[in-house]
Chains A and B, each alone.
Chain A
Amino acid sequence: MKTLLSCTINAEEHTVLVDPRDTLLELLRERIGLTGSKEGCGNGNCGTCTVLLDGAVVNACLVLALEVAGREVVTIEGVACAGELHPIQSALIETGGTQCGFCTPGIVLAAKALLDVNSAPSEDEIRQAIAGNLCRCTGYGKIVDAIATAATRMRGD
């Protein structure tokens, strides 16, 4: 029995018909067509589907679509503002912090959630913030550098 659901995704109102078995990730990818969030495991172990739900980091594969009714979701497609990249995105490009790119959307959102509440994170805090996001290509060093660089720029030091 499909249900009609309304929520805000990237500051846009959406009303969608969902299957009660759908996850938030399926809602985003299959029903809305926002394919930037990836599915690497479907179990909440890899972080490639990381999105922000009312500002908090969640694995979209572990949230049922029905749970987001009336709530606000930010996906990778909503991070850049009017074509202007977020400092985390620019820094990832500069440091070489994206390779195959499959983990990148999740990393950007996990890092954004960190910098939204902590403007001067230590390296350890950065590593903690992305500990739920596996990356198999970079070895993490250049991602950590990117997040630190973005934090510095956002502070305007």
Chain B
Amino acid sequence: MQPDPIGAPRGRLKVIGKRLARVDAKERVTGQAIYPADLSLPGMVYAKILRSPLAHARIRGIDTRRAQAMQGVLAVVTAADFPVVPVGSTIPMGETGYDMWMVAAINMARDKVLWVGQPVAAVAAVDVHTAAAALALIAVEYEPLEPVLGILAAMAPEAPVLHEHVVTKGIEPRPRSPSNVCSRVVISRGDAPAARAQAHAKAHVRVAVDTAHQGYLEPQVAVAQVDANGFATVWASTQGQFTAELMIARMLGLPASKLKVVPLEIGGGFGGKIAIHGEAIAVRLAQKCRRPVKLVLTREEVLQGGSGPAAGALIDIAVAAQKDGGLVAIEGTYRMDAGGLPGMSPSLLMQASAALYQCPNLNLEGFDVVTNKPRTEAYRGPGGIQAAFAVEQAIDMLCQRLGMDPLEFRKRNASVTGSLMPIGTPFPSIGLDTILEAVGGHPCWTDALGQGAYPRGRGLALGYWRGTSMTSAAHITIAGDGRPMVTMGAVDLSGTRSTMAQVVAEEFGLAIEDVHVQTGDSKSVGYSDGAAGSRVARTMTAALVEACADALRQLRSRAAEKLQSAAELLHYADGVFRAPQPGAAAISLAELMQATLTDGAVVGRGVSSKLPLGVEIGAHVCDVEVDTESGLVTVLRYTAFQDVGLALNPTAVEGQIEGSVVQGLGWALLEGFDYGADGRLRNASLLDYRMPTALDVPRIDTVIVETPVPNVPYGVRGVGEVPIVPPAAAAANAIARAVGVRVCHMPMTPERVLAAIRAARGGRS
């Protein structure tokens, strides 16, 4: 077990902050937890998607007649079965909305295919074998176009253009010709080039990051049923039932009131299940064949263009410092590989790369670039790991040039509460200085590295993630036995039902066993944004604190009537209302509800919107040993320090951090998409796309620091995203200190490490 959190006094708290088991753990360990692929409905048929074999081509025609005539085939759909979703269409989400044109295109190509694996048609048949056979009978006539795969190749003026309507945004005057550079973003303050020119020490690094996948173990799945009135129900593996509903409705041209999305257990999402991937197709097929339709993607489909991986990048960072170690400039150029459709804004990762240092001069320029690869989607702190891999290596090189301890450098330059964030607003309460103090006093930093068969090194890297808040809703009814029954609008991605049961138990003064929490479908609870941006635990806590107060207010007035006392004089604790006089009458929630159930329902409502951000900050220390014969990097020890505001459940928080770190180490050392010149992914299986196994990683140690966020119930911060940010940089810095070379290409596979070592030795092996 990991040590308890350092920080917030929690003497008053009885349930929050305790290491309690997940309320849904028993179903999980016995195989009873229901994921959408486990559903079977009477008369259900099976769908399969036909996908583009080409990375870039115009669709001249699709002939589905032979497939439609095949015995056992019940329906076939192509783009012609869906209304056109024009460029610029959005659905509501957060401040900017979500690009619906993009969502429509990742679900069904129209006129043009932009990557291998993009859907072009789909079939429903009596069984999967028949559906698969029918796909082979669909004739698609393609006019092949030259694919553009590399970021720099796509940015070149002579590159074939993917989208005729895309003109680079953020350049004045507005360019006239279309480009694969979809947008340019600049974050600037002071005069970075001048500051760098005058600085005592400088460092520059260029890093390349291969596209990687979120790697959720459960492939995308949807089961769709349409009733006699045309009302559709979709059981889905989604990060947001409301977002999915809006997307499906928009893609089908169906009013959202004619559709319900039921989220079941989700076998991992990590950002990759925000958008829909086939749900609308399943509904359209179900409408056409009047039978329930099940669509389950294969792993190959998930990897080969059927779902969005995480963006690759090419980043240059230059940093400069004065002799005393004061950081004076960060300059950066960030080129994000969005895949086949625009929309990977580099803004968040640009902010992430400069937020943690008090640096007077910034000059950051980012580009969103399209290539003929799957449209990338969010992955846990999207962009953070790429940014940190660049900036934290540059800082480490700067420390080496200054002859300064990397921890001392960070202490000297760390952002503190009130420091200006890159976007110009001051940081709310943050605990980076506390984290850095904790690192300095921890054995992971003070212990000697020890001798091994090969050189060893220790790396330090910081990580920042802004997160988001958006909106969450929940309601609480009080059961006839007086127990709170909670329905929340967020799906349970990371143990939300358990931590929210803790929050409600705390607010009611009850045991966690007395609280029942369920995730509502999109027609049984109020609108909530999806589970993304480390927002759910914080905002749902706020919604539930409000809902609990609302329910308790209603209960109090009933209790006042029963106890014949003024409501405001009643004392409430641990599930019992008491009249004020010593020895006076009392009534428990159970007695109260039994006595008043037929007076009408008690429903407590809570909505959270625009909650202050709960920025996430972490510092990671990584020890590695580098086999100089093979290039294999072994992670010997890994410690993650993180400020979580307040740990609702330390075991759950550790679980988020440990898993997130291992995903980061996977991308750092093992995982990268390998594309052939034709744009086909060559490692589209979990054997060839190597995610870490239990043998690839050490135990991840965690140190939880607690600096509560002001004006947020219980001071909770986001947790799950930032731990994936530092690992690649921490490992790279450890490798550099072990063998004296920088491996500037993620993943840092043995081949790349060995090549870097050999290059440094002047080609001698």
Binding site for B on A (CB under 8 A): 19, 21, 29-30, 33-43, 45-46, 48, 75-77, 79-80, 85, 88-90, 92-96, 98-105, 108, 126-128, 130-145
Q: How far is the CA of A138 from the CA of B34 in the complex (A)?
A: 20
Determine the main DSSP class of B at the interface with A. loop
Q: How far is the CA of A76 from the CA of B268 in the complex (A)?
A: 20
Given contacts A133-B693, A134-B686, 5 further A-B pairs with CB under 8 A are A100-B216, A100-B268, A101-B28, A103-B217, A142-B651
Q: Is the CB of A136 within 8 A of B686?
A: no
- Distance in Å from the Cβ of A28 to the closest Cβ of chain B? 10
Q: Is the CB of A134 within 8 A of B35?
A: no
Q: Which residues of A contact B495 (CB under 8 A)?
A: 99
- Distance in Å from the Cβ of A34 to the closest Cβ of chain B? 8
Q: Which residues of B contact A130 (CB under 8 A)?
A: 693-694
Interface string of B158-202 (1 = CB under 8 A from A): 000000000000000000000000000000000000000000000
Q: How far is the CA of A75 from the CA of B267 in the complex (A)?
A: 19
Q: Is the CB of B686 within 8 A of A100?
A: no
3 smallest CB-CB distances across A and B, nearest first, come from: A36-B31, A102-B267, A76-B31
Q: Is the CB of B267 within 8 A of A85?
A: no
Partner of B691, one of A30, A102, A136: A136
Interface string of B279-304 (1 = CB under 8 A from A): 00000000000000000101100000
- Distance in Å from the Cβ of B703 to the closest Cβ of chain A? 14
Partner of B663, one of A41, A99, A136: A136
Partner of A99, one of B298, B494, B695, B700: B494
Q: Which residues of B contact A45 (CB under 8 A)?
A: 299, 685-687
Q: Is the CB of A108 within 8 A of B29?
A: yes
Which partner residue on chain B sits nearest A132 by CB separation? B693
Interface set, chain B 9-39, CB cutoff 8 A to A: 21-22, 24-35, 37-38
Interface string of B684-707 (1 = CB under 8 A from A): 011100010111010110000000
Partner of A75, one of B31, B218, B651, B693: B31
Q: How far is the CA of A137 from the CA of B654 in the complex (A)?
A: 11
Q: Is the CB of A127 within 8 A of B659?
A: no
Which partner residue on chain B sits nearest A124 by CB separation? B695
Q: List 12 A-B contacts (CB under 8 A).
A: A30-B40, A35-B31, A46-B299, A98-B25, A98-B28, A100-B493, A101-B27, A102-B35, A134-B686, A136-B217, A137-B659, A142-B654
- Distance in Å from the Cβ of A152 to the closest Cβ of chain B? 14
Q: Is the CB of B299 within 8 A of A98?
A: no
Q: How far is the CA of A102 from the CA of B700 in the complex (A)?
A: 21
Interface size range of chain B in the complex: 35 or more
Q: How far is the CA of A135 from the CA of B696 in the complex (A)?
A: 12
- Distance in Å from the Cβ of A97 to the closest Cβ of chain B? 9
- Distance in Å from the Cβ of A26 to the closest Cβ of chain B? 9
Q: Is the CB of A131 within 8 A of B25?
A: no
Q: Is the CB of B651 within 8 A of A38?
A: no
Q: Which residues of A contact B268 (CB under 8 A)?
A: 100, 102, 136-137
Q: Which residues of B contact A136 (CB under 8 A)?
A: 214-217, 268, 270, 659, 663, 691
Also in contact, A33 and B694, with CB within 8 A (given A93-B26, A98-B29): no
CB of B562 within 8 Å of the partner chain: no
Q: Which residues of B contact A98 (CB under 8 A)?
A: 22, 25, 28-29
Q: Is the CB of B658 within 8 A of A101?
A: no
CB of B719 within 8 Å of the partner chain: no
Q: Which residues of B contact A100 (CB under 8 A)?
A: 216-218, 265-268, 493
Q: Is the CB of A38 within 8 A of B218?
A: yes
Q: Which residues of A contact B214 (CB under 8 A)?
A: 136
Q: Which residues of B contact A88 (CB under 8 A)?
A: 29
- Distance in Å from the Cβ of B542 to the closest Cβ of chain A? 24
Q: Is the CB of A127 within 8 A of B695?
A: yes
Also in contact, A137 and B694, with CB within 8 A (given A45-B687, A93-B25, A101-B267): no
- Distance in Å from the Cβ of A50 to the closest Cβ of chain B? 11
- Distance in Å from the Cβ of B599 to the closest Cβ of chain A? 39
Which partner residue on chain A sits nearest B657 by CB separation? A139
- Distance in Å from the Cβ of A106 to the closest Cβ of chain B? 9
Q: How far is the CA of A37 from the CA of B219 in the complex (A)?
A: 14
Partner of A144, one of B267, B655, B699: B699
Which partner residue on chain B sits nearest A46 by CB separation? B686
Q: Which residues of A contact B75 (CB under 8 A)?
A: none
Q: How far is the CA of A96 from the CA of B652 in the complex (A)?
A: 7
CB of B129 within 8 Å of the partner chain: yes
Interface set, chain B 623-657, CB cutoff 8 A to A: 651-652, 654-655
Partner of A42, one of B38, B299, B652: B299
Interface string of B298-318 (1 = CB under 8 A from A): 110000000000000000000
Q: Is the CB of B219 within 8 A of A36?
A: no
Which partner residue on chain A sits nearest B665 by CB separation? A139
Also in contact, A76 and B30, with CB within 8 A (given A21-B129, A128-B695): yes
Q: Which residues of B contact A35 (CB under 8 A)?
A: 31, 34, 37-38
Interface string of B203-238 (1 = CB under 8 A from A): 000000000001111110000000000000000000
